[in-house]
Structure formats: structure tokens, C-alpha cells
Structure 1
């Protein structure tokens, strides 16, 4: 359910007389982070990029389910045994993830980390898994079995083998946190891009808004559309890079946690709004829900705009979508 890098930052100016733009790329939380800050000096920008990296690392050490000493790993290690006390920050993030699981009726599920990895998208699969194996793969998935205790700030997983994870929310949460931290520190402009989960604030040094290009999912050398952003988040989820084909049908890497089968119907979902964490949850959920149910779901979040691309190459967007006065195509080739 992890997003890939389907967004491109299009810089129109690197610096002005009074402000300098600095960028650094690093690997954190199992993925690529591109950190871009605008400051009064190169030194100040670099110092604050260091602070952003430190904050992302702090969050990773709290919620990573592949770091054995993180709080979430301790929750998973004690599944079916005892509740585990966690920091308020971790508790509240988990609580929001469960709320999203509820409103999507499990199309998004925080306990998807327990899913058996039976689908392989590295070229090694030669046949479809059986219906029995697919059913078994999701046996331990079920957000209803995650028990939160607000008073004691504990998380308990009812059954041994259950796991929770933040592969579809954690990076968006981190980018939102870093944006807030930078604004508090007086860094008035920048972008934190976590492999397609992007939080922006302020403007480029030349005074123009940040310009972000959305990759054409049919031809990745082209841009589907561009959008100018200021103090907004944008997330794209897509399934057109990792997939297998059996009997002429494509099965892609975003799995429906309720059924164990790959999601179908959409190949790309872009969501824009105030929070990257929420936009991430909306885009991932919509990929699983499909076009019709996904659009109904997204309409419940009027502060978020969207662009969907179906597996028939149809382009659908919310009524409030503005893309640099560019009209989106109704279909792509």
C-alpha cells in the first residue's frame, strides 16, 4: 500500500537576492525523501534540513514496524498477550488510522501489516494463488481487533500474529510534522516529499507558487498535469509500475485488505488538500474502493480535490480541481 514517486517538482527559479533554495535527498522510513527549503542563507537552509531529517528519524523510530525496538513493533510483538503503553503521539496516530479503517469499511486497514505476502511483483510469480491461499492470507487482518485504551494510552492486538503498520500513513504524517516544525522555526517556504507524499508551504524564491507535475501513468516520460501549490499537500498513489498478468488480466501491487486480491479499476489517484497524512489515506483507500465507490468516498472530504485515472485510461476529477488553468484530458493514451 506504499506510494511511489509519481510527483515531480518543477522549479522555476533557484534563488533570489535575499533567499537561497537548498535541496537534499535521503533514504528514511524505507523510502526516498526529497527535502527542499528556502532560507536567508545556505547555512541556515542546511541546518534546518538537518532538523527535518532528525524529525523524520524520530518518527521512524516510534512507528516503524521493521525496527524491532519501536513502539509499534512492541505492540506487534505482544499481540494476543498484553496491551502496550505508547506515547500520546503514537496513540493518536493509531486512533486516526482506525477511524479511517472504519469509514472505509476496511478498504483501508491499519492491521494490513499481518497480511501474508503471497503476491510477488518481481517477475517470480508464474500462476495465480488459489482462492484458499488468498483467503488465508488475510485471516489476521481486522482493525476491529485493535483495542485502544485512551486512559492508559495502550494498544492491544487481540490475536497472536496480528500486526499494525503505518506504511500508508506514516510518511504523510512525517511530512506534515516537518512542515509545521519548519514554520515554527521561521522557515517560511519549502517542500518535504516522501516518495509521493508531499507537503508544501510558502513560495519559491522568485515569489511564484511551487509547481508540481503529476506523472502520466500510461507514459511516465510525460506529465499528466501540473498544479501550483502553496501551503498544501499532494499525494499520488498508483499501481502501474508493479503488477503481474494472468489470462490477460492485470493484478497490481495494491492489495484489498478485506479480500486479499489486488485492487482493480484505477491505476492512479491524486489527492490535494491541507494534510498529506489524510491525503495519503484518501488516495490509498480510493485505489482499493475503485472509481464509483471511491468518488462517493472522496465527496465526504470537501477540503480535498482529486484526479483519478481508470484502467481504461479515463481521467476523472473533482469539480473544484484547478490545474494552472489547464484543462485535464478526458482520456489519456
Structure 2
């Protein structure tokens, strides 16, 4: 029997969000203002700590819905759906949002040498991980899907704002980057509406805006990847940062006693098999963290650390199957280990 488990963002990351006493009651609401919505295929929660204006949150949720209607591969009639439908036929004119996200996706596809490839859509659709009909495909079908994956076959015409996929049957899937872009857009909207203290949680993509209202930093937990996100291994102390995690516990199904997770290899056509249980990225922009979390998972610890340490403004932690934690120097400086089942690799 196949079992499928979706990520619940309420359990995905433990966030210490206590507002310490002593704040001015005339400026800070007595309680946080929060709303939750099912959008972008996950449970999303936006919480304000220095404002009780629910209209601001409504605007943010509306923006998320707008992006879902543009960027989703799982809804019919979206811009991305049209781009995919017109593969091998003609270029499709798209919005600034779609052009921006696809360009960023291609940047990281190139950076990873295709280990994270946004044209993995045919494989994603074939496996159906995250749906009730998820199943292990035939090798013949896998080979057919693999033949359609190549980020170099995506043509962007910025002057005319069009995207063209060269081969019929190609499909772009922005699942490894869209939530990151959405989190950044919500953070921007909150700032434009004078919010300075907030948490944006898009199904485990966390963006902490500013500081807590007492001026101290936030504490954001790193999931325990062996407990379906129900507990943490420790936390990072941050301000105005994004924390994004990819792991084998997020979406998967079981067939004949084996688990198949959702991070698919364009080379083998199967889920990546390596030493990693989960990887979390700390970054200024969530779009970078979203892309890099998938990229580093695909690369493995050794190559992943080489890549992340070559980039500026980003840090990472890898959780491996032997319960070791491998971190960049910047991550280690702000990380506190709380789970004795894990230890820092030497």
C-alpha cells in the first residue's frame, strides 16, 4: 500500500516568537495578529507582531494567490501551464513575476550543472509524488521523461518578455524556487505597509522580518528530518533572514516497503540517494535559500559545502543519516544544538 504524507508548516519549524515584557502598549499590540491560508499547495501563515491591521495580511495572502495563479504547474490556465503547453510550438508572453522566477531558476540550474534543473517537470508529473496516484514509473517512461530535461533548451526573450521551450513535451517546474520568491514578495509587501516585526511561514519556508518587538533576535528551529518535522535538532538566532529546508521527510510515498521522496535526479530519473536527510539554508532572500536547499541536497555534503562556501551571503547545515551535522562557519556561529541524538561533525 502506498502512503503519502504532506508537510504541515505548523510542525515544520519550531519558532520561538515570545515577545518579552516591557514593550510600549501604545505602539505594540498585546497579542500577535495572524492568519492562515491554504495556498501555493501548502499551509501558509503570516503573523504580525507590531501591527494588528488584518488588511495587511489579507493583501499578503492575495499576493500569494496571485502568484499561485501565475506560477503553479498543478493548476490549469496559469502562465507556466501555458508555457509548458506551447513547448516546441511558440514563445509565450509572460508577466514580470514569471520571467523573474524562471530566470533565477535557470541561474541555479546552471550553477548546479543541472543537478537542480527547472525543466524536471516531465519527471515530476510522471512520479506524481504529492498526489494520490504516486507510483514508481516504468524504466521506459523514465527514459522518455529524462530526454525532455535540459535547462539549456529554455529560451528567454527579455525584450519581448517571452519564454520558449524548444522541445515538445518539455515542462518547467518551479517547485524548487516559487515559494522562495513568494516569501520575498510577502516580506516586501509587509515592509511597504510599515510592518517591521513579522514571521512569514510558507509551508516551512520561513522569513523572519526585522527583529522581535523587544529588539532581540528571532530563534528559528532546524527540523529533525527523522521525525517528519515534528521536532527540532537545534535553532539559529537570526534577524531579517530566510531559513529554508529541503529533506526526505517533506513529501514521499511508499511502495513495496520502500520510501520514495520528492527530490528527483534528472540524471537517474529516480529520487536522489545520498547521505543527506535534510539541508537548511540561511539567506537574505528566500528565493536563494529555496533554490540552494534543493541544489545542495542534490550535490551531497562534500560538493554542496564547496558550492555554498563559494557564495556570499548564504550559509547552510546538512543533516546526514549518521546523525552528524555539517555546517558552514557562518551557520555554526549562530546555531545552538538542543537534540542529543545529533552531533557536530569534526
- TM-score, normalised to structure 2, is 0.85
Change in Cα spacing, 1:187 to 1:328, as seen in structure 2 (3 Å) is same
User: What is the CA-CA distance between 1:245 and the residue it aligns to?
Assistant: 7.2
For 1:305, the equivalent position in structure 2 comes to: 315
Provide, for residues 267-292 of structure 1, a one-character-per-residue CA deviation record: whole Å limited to 9, x for no partner.
Answer: 10000010111101000111111112
How many residues are treated as equivalent by the alignment? 327
For 2:74, the equivalent position in structure 1 comes to: 66
Aligned with 1:321: secondary structure?
helix
8 A contact 1:3–1:168 mirrored in 2: no
Residue 212 of structure 2 is aligned to residue 222 of structure 1 = no
8 A contact 1:235–1:271 mirrored in 2: yes
Return 286-295 or 218-227, whichever deviates more. 218-227
Residue 113 of structure 2 is aligned to residue 102 of structure 1 = no
Q: Distance in 1 between matches of 2:8 and 2:114?
A: 22
8 A contact 2:282–2:331 mirrored in 1: no
User: What is the CA-CA distance between 1:31 and the residue it aligns to?
Assistant: 1.0
For 1:235, the equivalent position in structure 2 comes to: 244
User: What is the CA-CA distance between 1:61 and the residue it aligns to?
Assistant: 1.8
Structure 2: which 5+ runs fail to align? 1-5
8 A contact 1:269–1:307 mirrored in 2: yes
Return 316-325 or 179-188, whichever deviates more. 316-325
8 A contact 1:109–1:143 mirrored in 2: yes
Aligned with 1:162: secondary structure?
coil
For 1:117, the equivalent position in structure 2 comes to: 126
Change in Cα spacing, 1:267 to 1:151, as seen in structure 2 (3 Å) is same
Residue 267 of structure 2 is aligned to residue 261 of structure 1 = no
8 A contact 2:237–2:335 mirrored in 1: no
Structure 1: which 5+ runs fail to align? none
8 A contact 1:254–1:263 mirrored in 2: yes
Q: What are the residue-to-residue correspondences of 1:131-280 with 2, within 5 Å?
A: 131-219=139-227, 220-240=229-249, 242=252, 244=254, 251-265=260-274, 266-280=276-290
Change in Cα spacing, 1:312 to 1:244, as seen in structure 2 (3 Å) is farther
For 1:9, the equivalent position in structure 2 comes to: 15
Return 187-196 or 108-117, whichever deviates more. 108-117
Return 50-59 or 200-209, whichever deviates more. 200-209
8 A contact 1:29–1:60 mirrored in 2: yes
8 A contact 1:55–1:178 mirrored in 2: yes
User: What is the CA-CA distance between 1:62 and the residue it aligns to?
Assistant: 1.8
Provide, for residues 20-71 of structure 1, a one-character-per-residue CA deviation record: whole Å limited to 9, x for no partner.
Answer: 221111111111111011234x2x2x11101111111121222122332221
Change in Cα spacing, 1:30 to 1:113, as seen in structure 2 (3 Å) is same
RMSD: 2.7
Return 165-174 or 206-215, whichever deviates more. 206-215
Q: Distance in 2 between matches of 1:285 and 1:130?
A: 26
Change in Cα spacing, 1:56 to 1:250, as seen in structure 2 (3 Å) is closer
Provide, for residues 162-211 of structure 1, a one-character-per-residue CA deviation record: whole Å limited to 9, x for no partner.
Answer: 11121111111011011112112211111111111111112223332222
Q: Distance in 2 between matches of 1:288 and 1:175?
A: 23
The correspondence for 2:35, drawn from 13, 20, 24, is 24
User: What is the CA-CA distance between 1:136 and the residue it aligns to?
Assistant: 2.7
8 A contact 1:316–1:330 mirrored in 2: no
